[in-house]
Amino acid sequence: MTASAPYASTSLADLLPAVRYADPQLLAARLEDVRLPLGWWHATPLMEIERVIGAEALSHQVAQALRALWPHAELGDVIPVLRLLGTPVVEPGKTVAQVAREAGPGVVDGDRVLAGVFGSILDRLHQRGIPEAADEGTRVRDAVSVIARWLPADAPAEVRAALAVLQGLAEWSEDGPSSVSTPEPVEDQTGELPAPREAFEEHDPVDDDAGPPPAAGLMAEPLAALTRLVAGWDERAQVIAGQRMFTGEPVTLQDLGERFSVSRERVRQLERAIADSLTQWMVAAEDGRAFAGHLAAVAEELGTVGRLAEVHALHSDHARPVAALGVPLGDIVARLLPGGTLVGTWVVQGDAASLRAVMQEDLLAACGDTPLAWDDAVALGLRYGVRGEVLADWAAEIGRFQVRDGRLLYWGRTVNDRAAAVLALRGAPMSMEDIHEELADGTVISSMRNQIWTDERFLRLDRNLYGLRVWGGEEYLGIREMIAREIANAGGEAEVAAIAEAISTRFDVSAASVRTNLGGPGFARTRRGWVRVADQTGDQDAPYLPRNDVAGTRRCFVGFDGRWWYRVEVTADHLRGSGSPVPAGWAAHLGSAPQREPVQLRHEAGETSLTWRAQPTLGSVKPLLEHIGATIGDQVFFNVTDGKLNALRLPAPTAGPGPETEAVRLTGWTAAVTPAEAVEVIARRIGMEPGQDGAALLERLAERGDKDIGELLEQALSGAIPQV
C-alpha cells in the first residue's frame, strides 16, 4: 500500500493562520472560486484544491491575497512554515510588499514571485521533486516528447490541444528569445506613431520545421508578420501595447504617463493610435490582410465560446511571444478577434454577459430538478454556437453546473443544493454517509445533516435513508413520532405488540426500541398491553421535560437577573445563514418540544424560529450576527425574553489572560479574577449554590459537558503552565 503524503490534510489556514482572523468578505473576494466549496481555505485539504484547479492557480490566488491583505507584514510571519521548512526563497525580514516590489516593476511580477514562494512550500509539503534550474528546459522537452509518443490516436481534443501548447513552449525554451531580432527603438519626434515598415528585415524568428502544419485558413507565419509590424513602432508604442493593451494585468494610465513624462490623456491617445494603426494595417498592407484572415479563421474554429488555451494550440506560433511586446502571440490574437471579448481565460463572441445570462437560464430550466442527458446538453449548447468540447467547462463557468455520469446537473452554491443534485443523479434514496461521500467537497457531515433536516426538499424515509420529497413516500419522523402516528391512525388507542410490529416491519427500527419508547414519557397505559398518547387528556401544553434541564446543559449560564444565556461559537455556516442545532435543555427552557409548533422569535434585525423535529434547531441568525458585528470564531451569547432573541458578542480577550480569567470569560464574565474568584463566579453562573469548592465545581462542569471551562479552571487551580 502506498503511504499518503504526510501533509495530505493540510489546509490553507494551517499554512496562513492569518486567514482565520481576516475579514471573510475580503478573503472571499480574493480566494473564492466557483469550482471550490465555500470557505475552502478554512478546512479543505490543499491537495484536494490542487486536484480541482491545479497548484499554479492555487499559488497565484494565494499570492494575490497576500499582496492585497497583508502587504506590510513580514512574509515569514504571515507564512510561519517558511521558517520551519528552511526554504531559502525569501531574505529574512522582508515584508510581503517588499518581496513583491523587488520582483519587478509590475503587479504580475510581484504575484509571480509570491506564487513561486507558496508553490515551493506546496512542493515541500507534498514531497514533490523540484527539477534543477539548469536542467529544467531539457526536462520539459523530454517530458513533452514522452507524452507525444504515448498519446493515443483517439485522445480528446482538449488533450491534443494541451499537448500542442506544451510543444510550443518546449520549442520556445530551446530557441530562446535571442532568436528574434529587434531593431533599435525609433524616436518619435512628432508624438504620432510611425507608419508600419512592411519592408522590415526578412529574418524569420520561427523555426520553419517546428510544430504541426497550421489548420486550413490559418496564416503560415503570423508571428513573423506581426513582428515586422511592431518592430517599426517606437518604445512608447511597444510598451503601451505590451503592458496595457494585450495583457491581463494592464499597467495604469497614470503609471505609463509618469514613465514617459506625459499626461494620462496623452497615453490614452497613444493607445487609440495603436489600435487605429493595427486596423489600418489589416486593411491596407499585404501582411495585415493575411493576418486579418488568420483572425477570422481562428474565430471560426472557436465558435461562440473558446478557451484561450485553444487559441494557443491552434498554431505553433501562438505559444511564442512577440519579442518587442513580451506577450505570447496567442494572447494578442485572442484580443484582436473580430467581435470577440476576452473574459478571464475565455474568448466569447458577442455580448458575453448576455450569453452567460441566457444560457444559465436555459440550463437551469433544463436540468434544475432532473439531470440532463449529455447529448441533450450538447444540443442545447449548439443552439448558442457553443461546441460540445468546451460546454462542460463553460457551463461550470457560468453557473455551477457539473457533468457526472454522462449527465449535466446543477451543482448549487449551498450544501442543500448539492445534496439534492446527488440524489437526483442517483434517482434513489441514499444514506447520509453516501450523500456526503458523493459531495466530496470538504463539507462536514454534521453540517450537511443539519441542512438536510431543515430543508423541505428532502424526505427522511428511514432512520438513515433520505430521498427527495417530490418522489413521494412515507416520511420517517423518529420512533416517538412514528408511535404517535400509529396510535392516531388506530383511533387514539393501540396495542403495544401491533405498534412494535408495524414500525419495525416498515423501518430500520427494532421492535425492542419501539417498546422501550412506549414506556417513556408521552405515552400512557389504558389497559393491559394497550397505550395512548399521554397528552390526549389535555396536557398538550405542559412543559416538555428533557433529560437535562437548562442548569445541567453545556454552554448555558445564568445572569444576575436570573435569565439563562446560551453560548455559541460563530462559524462560517452561521454567517452563510444556515440553521444550527441547540441543546434540548435550553430549547425546552424556551418552551419548545418535539413535534410541536415552532417557537417564533423576533430580534433587532428580523425574525427566526426554534423548531424541534429530530432535534431542536435554531433558524438562521445571520442578520442578527451581522447586526452585532460578529465574525468567525467569536463567542456570542443568546437569550430569549418575551419572545425576543437577544445576542451579545463577547469582546476579544486582552493579551495573555490567565486560565482563570479565560475560564470565567467563557461564562460571559469579562473582568479579571483570581483562581478562588473564578470558582465562585463559575459556580454561580451554572446555577450552583455559593460556597462550592474547586473539586465539586470541576465535577459539575464535567457532568454538564463544559470540557473547555473545566480544563482552564483545572490549570488555574493546580498552577500548571500549559505546554506551548
The dihedral built from the CA positions of residue 34, 36, 37 and 42, taken in this order, carries a sign that is negative
Q: How many CB atoms lie within 10 A of CB 521?
A: 10
The long-range contacts involving 143-151, CB below 8 angstroms and separated by at least 24 positions, are 144/170
> Is the pLDDT confidence value at 8 over 90?
no
Q: Which of 10, 128, 13 is nearest to 65 (CA)?
A: 13
Q: Which of 312, 337, 55 is nearest to 171 (CA)?
A: 312
User: Rounded CA gap, 549 and 252, in Å?
Assistant: 65
Q: Is 59 helix (H, G, I), strand (E, B) or coil?
A: helix
Q: What angle do CA 342, 345, 347 make, to 5 degrees?
A: 40
> Is the pLDDT confidence value at 654 over 80?
no
Q: Which of 707, 452, 683 is nearest to 581 (CA)?
A: 452
Give the phi and the psi of residue 306 in degrees, each rounded to 5.
-150, 160
pTM, two decimal places: 0.43
Q: What is the DSSP letter of 706?
A: -
> Is the pLDDT confidence value at 494 over 60?
yes
Confidence of residue 302 (pLDDT cuts 50, 70, 90): very high
Q: How many CA atoms lie within 13 A of 484 on its CB side?
A: 17
Confidence of residue 350 (pLDDT cuts 50, 70, 90): confident
User: Rounded CA gap, 610 and 620, in Å?
Assistant: 10
The top-scoring range by mean pLDDT among 148-162, 473-487, 528-542 is: 473-487
Residues forming a β-bridge with 581: 617
Task: Give the model's pLDDT for residue 434.
Answer: 92
Residue 493 CB contacts under 8 Å (≥ 6 apart), including other chains: 487, 526, 530, 531, 532
Q: Give, in order, the Cα–Cα distances in Å from 232 to each of 190, 197, 484.
A: 15, 6, 89
Q: Is 564 helix (H, G, I), strand (E, B) or coil?
A: strand
- pLDDT tens sequence across 303-333: 999 999 999 999 999 999 999 999 999 999 9
Q: Residue 389, Cα to own-chain centre: how many angstroms?
A: 25
Task: Give the model's pLDDT for residue 537.
Answer: 45
User: Rounded CA gap, 508 and 259, in Å?
Assistant: 76
User: Rounded CA gap, 415 and 608, in Å?
Assistant: 21
Comparing 57-66, 370-379, 514-523, 689-698, the range with the smallest average pLDDT is 514-523
Mean pLDDT, the chain, rounded, equals 81
- pLDDT tens sequence across 658-701: 899 999 999 998 888 899 999 999 999 998 888 888 998 999 99
Comparing 37-51, 248-262, 455-469, 489-503, the range with the smallest average pLDDT is 37-51
Span 357-370, mean pLDDT? 86
Comparing 251-255, 530-534, 631-635, the range with the smallest average pLDDT is 530-534
